[in-house]
Amino acid sequence: TETQKFPFIVIEGLDAAGKSTLTETLVNKLGAVKYCTPPPVIQHLRKYFVSLPEILARAYYQLGNYIVAQDIIEECQQRPVIMDRYWHSTAAYGIANESSFADLPEKGHPIYNWPSTLLKPSLVLFLSVTESTRQQRMTGRAGEMTFEERALDKDLFFRKRLVKNPM
């Protein structure tokens, strides 16, 4: 494969941690292009997949990662790419939804291995804010909350599992 001429930077964090704000700032400052997942070509299917069992919802998000990665490979030949969430979120939400705090897979478990066929980012930034700040930011948002946003809102242990995942 071709070597990337420009970086591929991923911004991760819980909902309302400031990912979109930082993504937009970096896009403007670096003359980059913004990507997100799921990509527009399958975005219309999101509402359907999030109502299905967890394993199917994760497969949908994983497919989105692979679709967008193909575009990013080409885009990084022309300019930097900044992405709001990627494989890290897909994996972390899947693991947090399918485990309890006590039975999270240990560091080094194969579930944390990066998929060998998926483009790796040049840099990943994980944003974190206090829960009170996150809650204030969430109240200002419009639209219906997803299952995961509701879980983040109500379930302290779910939030901790997401942040604890030793990826």
What is the fold, at CATH topology level, of the domain defined by 8-163? Rossmann fold (3.40.50)
pLDDT digits (tens, 9 = 90+) for 34-62: 999 899 999 999 999 988 888 898 899 99
Rounded alpha-carbon distances, angstroms, from residue 118 to 10, 34, 146? 14, 18, 26
Q: pTM here?
A: 0.81
> Omega before 38 cis (within 30°)?
yes
Domain layout of the chain by residue ranges: 8-163
pLDDT digits (tens, 9 = 90+) for 28-41: 999 999 999 899 99
Smallest CA-to-CA distance from 85 within 154, 151, 158, 22 is with: 22
Most confident of 55-69, 85-99, 151-165: 55-69
Query: Rounded distance, CA 165 to CA 21, Å?
Result: 24
